[in-house]
Amino acid sequence: MKPLYPILLGTLLAASACKRQEPPAEKEGHAHTEEAEAHSDEGHGENEKIVHIDPEMLRDLRITTAPARERPGGEVVTALGELTFSENAYVEVATPIPARIVTVHASTGQKVKAKEPLVNLQSPELGKARAALRAAQARANAARQAAERKRTLAAERIVAQKDVQAAEAEATAAEAEVSAAQAELGALGAGNAELSGGQGAPWFTLRSPISGTVIERHAREGQMADPSQALFHIGDLTRLWLIVQAFERDAVRIQPDTEARITFAAFPGKEFTAKVGHVGQRVDPASRTIPVRLELDNPEGLLKPGMSASAFIPLGEKGARILTVPAASLQRLEDGWFAFMPVGKGSFEQRAVGRGRTLGGEVEVLSGLEPGEPVVVEGAFLLKSEVEKSRGGGEQHEH
């Protein structure tokens, strides 16, 4: 029986050792489980930051983006105004005399160069003016020839010197008549080179004084043109003026050449820049405002004279710069303000941002975005709705 004791003792010790090793194994397995749950929660949080839109829904959803932009900070005044032509690049072309329109060379919307023909017209008055010029030229030639003969005869002592002086005076008067007739013909809108040699009333050509675009055309072939009615309105659309009305307390602090931001109701989410060209010198007694002229480039021709606009003009000296985005791009959720940024086709990142001041159609961004990063403008509200829908759906699923 003694040999059995060592065997039983060994078995008991082995079993005890196995029991002592089991708790660490259980603890290790528990740790792996917590780590896996932590990774699962982390991945779930990252997925919540991405909004996915179904391709079919994306086709019906209008999405526009705009970059976060830096602009001058400090105090800014908002002023309303209307777009107009530059006074230095706008003309109204009319006939100088009553005339019948023969041929029209330019149409509405057509770009023309300076001195390019616009319209040919016929006028009896032009014929009279041309006839008067020719008669004056004939008299001048005869007077010059008579004066030359008198000088020759005076040299031979056949006529007196006073006769020579009288002939020369007549020649000078005749030359003055020619100059007057040429000036009258020029005032009628045509020089000798412009006149037609054909039968009927002579015609003349009206030409564009500037290079630009034909904004309006009132000329029709066959109609009678009156000097009081413009036949063409021509303006340069590549550079326009925006005239805004600023209250006198603000206008006196606006500096020339200051860069201003311009927004148009016709282009939501789109921003233009302009420079202060002139601050008026007179206060309107009724509104207590001063007109301020802003000059802006329009190389693509998007802007049209007559459009209403809002201008955001910095006051005083130039200061620090701030970051702004269109107001429609920031959406409020239960845990703060967010912007949506495209990260792929149908995918948008939900980015938390710090919201600052409202500056007209834009909002100051204090944190969360960098200059140049694109944010969704039109469509941001619908993306917000998708986020709220997914959150609500998730809570119902948990219940």
**What is the predicted pLDDT for the residue at 215?**
93
Q: Which residues contact 247 (CB under 8 A, 6 or more apart)?
A: 77, 288, 289, 290
The full set of domains in the chain, from first to last, is 49-71+323-398 (2.40.420.20), 74-86+236-319 (2.40.30.170), 94-123+188-234 (2.40.50.100), 128-183 (1.10.287)
Tokens standing for 109? Answer: 């919307």
**What is the predicted pLDDT for the residue at 316?**
67
Check if the beta carbon of residue 346 is closer than 8 Å to that of residue 58.
Answer: yes
DSSP SS3 for 180 = helix
DSSP class per residue in 299-344 = TT----TT-EEEEEEE-SS---EEEEEEGGG-EEETTEEEEEEEEE
Instruction: Count the neighbouring beta carbons within 10 Å of the beta carbon of residue 121.
Output: 27
HSE toward the beta carbon, residue 268, CA cutoff 13 A: 9
Distance in angstroms (rounded) separating the CA atoms of residues 235 and 241: 12
Query: Average pLDDT for consecutive 10-residue bins of the chain (399 residues)?
Result: 42 43 43 42 56 78 87 80 92 89 93 93 78 82 84 80 83 85 69 46 84 93 92 94 92 89 88 93 92 93 92 76 89 91 88 85 89 92 87 49
HSE toward the beta carbon, residue 256, CA cutoff 13 A: 4
**What is the predicted pLDDT for the residue at 293?**
96
**What is the predicted pLDDT for the residue at 320?**
66
